[in-house]
Amino acid sequence: MIELRPFDSLGGENHGWLDAKHHFSFANYHDPARVHWGNLRVWNDDTIQPHTGFPPHPHRDMEIITYVRKGAITHEDSLGNKGRTEAGDVQVMSAGTGIRHSEYNREDEVTQIFQIWIIPTSEGDAPQWGAKPFPKGDRAGQFVTLASGYEEDADALPIRTDARVVGATIPAGETVEYPLGANRKAYLVPATGSVEIDGQAVNARDGAAISDLDVLRITAREDSEIVLVDAA
């Protein structure tokens, strides 16, 4: 099953400094049909104006993955971590028992990010943060695991949940496959381009909620960059 969620159907609010679109219920947007997809709880599509951002605020017991689509995001947190994550790269924060963090666009251009929240498999663990570059060339025509709750994904950023975040860049006309499993759920968003899944077109920034498919076959209708969460 594939449920298309077109970009123009998403919730959200434009705050001036932040134009936020929500694939799932978040902040002042609530849709009882779009609260979560398995253990995937949040997928926000944020456009942040230059020299603005999110001031320090707390989280706990949530796995938070940030995929930078354009520009860069600068992170600081109460553990003393500091980092700048550029377009195409990923940062993860396991909020655990509690962490305060800020996320600012210190650049002279707009920054665009996907922020993804996944419910952890356990609560009360120590908080942690990490970031890693994932060159788009390494993802050409294939999926690369960006963040994972599974030990076998040694090259991915670790998250404490039964889920995997993967990305791929697909040249126009090519097809990639992902072995999902009929008992799993997937949520896919093209960062750029347009793809087709089982005859269903999914355009840039649309969401596709997928279930009951053993193997996911994705064909690029044009050069495309996609992000997918494999969720329990």
Edge to edge, the sheet with strand 90-94 lists 11-14, 18-22, 40-48, 111-118, 63-70, 90-94, 128-132
**What tens digit of pLDDT does each residue of 112-169 get?**
999 999 999 999 999 999 999 998 778 889 999 999 999 999 999 999 999 999 999 9
Give the model's pLDDT for residue 120.
98
Q: Which domains does the chain have, with CATH numbers?
A: 2-231 (2.60.120.10)
Cα angle value 58/231/216 (rounded, 5°): 140
Give the model's pLDDT for residue 139.
87
Mean pLDDT of the chain, nearest integer: 97
Cβ atoms of 201 and 135 within 8 Å: the answer is no
| Dihedral (CA of 158, 164, 165, 171) sign | positive
**What tens digit of pLDDT does each residue of 180-210 get?**
999 999 999 999 999 999 999 999 999 999 9
Query: Whole-prediction pTM value?
Result: 0.96
Give the model's pLDDT for residue 135.
82
